[in-house]
Amino acid sequence: MNRELIVDARAVHAWYGSSHVLHGVDLQIGRGETVGLLGRNGMGKSTLIRTLLGHVRQRDGHIGLFGQEASHLQPHQVARLGIAYVPEGRGVFPNLSVRENLLMAARSGRDGRNDWSFERVLETFPRLAERIAQMGGQLSGGEQQMLSIGRALMTHPELIVLDEATEGLAPLIVAEIWRVIGEISASGIATLIVDRDYRKVLARSNHALVLQKGRVVLRGASVTLASHEALSGYLGV
């Protein structure tokens, strides 16, 4: 197995009960790479993420993380390997303050790195610094998304997975989130991005793949896929 790959998933299948959702999906993410995951709603994007992270237990195929077999791992074990997940819906703790939400996640990275300190997260998200004592449930949707990303960064991940990070947010907040995604990528953290704005995803990523009914129908360099004649048909745009 290639030790430079953070994710090396091959022939992955997944089920919800009797519903066969993923059909032999391959996905590789190298260190420092940004990969886009595209497809219309219901095509299996979130299921693929949740399968890789151990949330979907009805699965088959090979899932390698950091050069080791990981098909049997639970979500908390995957997180300890150095993968942070920012789920659709944000998942902040509403009864904890912004400070508490951030500090409860703080830990050193796999190699002892502490590049994303509490102070750096607040510098990256000035809005959070202004609301440091407020409860998570008192924040706006955009501020909760910032908090969710900031909390993920406090774990010093090797890979951060962003599932619909800009969904339902105001344009100014969306622009801020994309700015931060660029900063995360520039810092050397690998990123897997799911977002409806496929143009932004392709502009920010090195590689991308498109899912259609749980199968990969397009993959390649993002700059190439951006002009692929079949892309609009698969995405319904």
Using 50, 70 and 90 to split pLDDT, how confident is the model at 91? confident
Question: The tokens of 94 are what?
Answer: 């509403």
Percentage of the chain modeled with pLDDT above 90: 83
Q: Which domains does the chain have, with CATH numbers?
A: 5-235 (3.40.50.300)
The CA distance from 139 to 102, in Å, is: 14
Using 50, 70 and 90 to split pLDDT, how confident is the model at 1? very low
Q: How far is CA 207 from the centre of its chain?
A: 14
Query: In the predicted model, is pLDDT for residue 2 greater than 50?
Result: no
Whether 6 and 158 have beta carbons less than 8 Å apart is answered as yes
Q: Give per-residue pLDDT as tens, 127-170.
A: 999 999 999 999 999 999 999 999 999 999 999 999 999 998 99
Query: In the predicted model, is pLDDT for residue 112 greater than 80?
Result: no
User: How do 34-38 and 190-194 pair as beta strands?
Assistant: parallel
Mean pLDDT computed over every residue of the chain = 92
Q: What is the mean pLDDT of residues 58-86?
A: 93
Q: What is the mean pLDDT of residues 82-92?
A: 88
- The pLDDT value recorded for residue 113 is 67
The CA distance from 147 to 130, in Å, is: 12
- Residue 236 backbone class (left: φ over 0; alpha: ψ -120 to 50; beta: rest): left
Task: Give the start-end residues of each E strand in the chain.
Answer: 5-16, 19-30, 34-38, 59-65, 68-69, 83-86, 159-163, 190-194, 207-212, 215-221
Query: What are the DSSP calls for 92-117, one per residue?
Result: --TTSBHHHHHHTT----TTS---S-
- The pLDDT value recorded for residue 88 is 82
- The pLDDT value recorded for residue 181 is 93
- The pLDDT value recorded for residue 4 is 85
Whether 16 and 32 have beta carbons less than 8 Å apart is answered as no
Q: Give per-residue pLDDT as tens, 93-105.
A: 999 999 999 999 8
CB count in 10 Å sphere of residue 110:
12
Nearest to 26 by CA among 13, 15, 43: 13
- The pLDDT value recorded for residue 21 is 96
Query: In the predicted model, is pLDDT for residue 80 greater than 50?
Result: yes
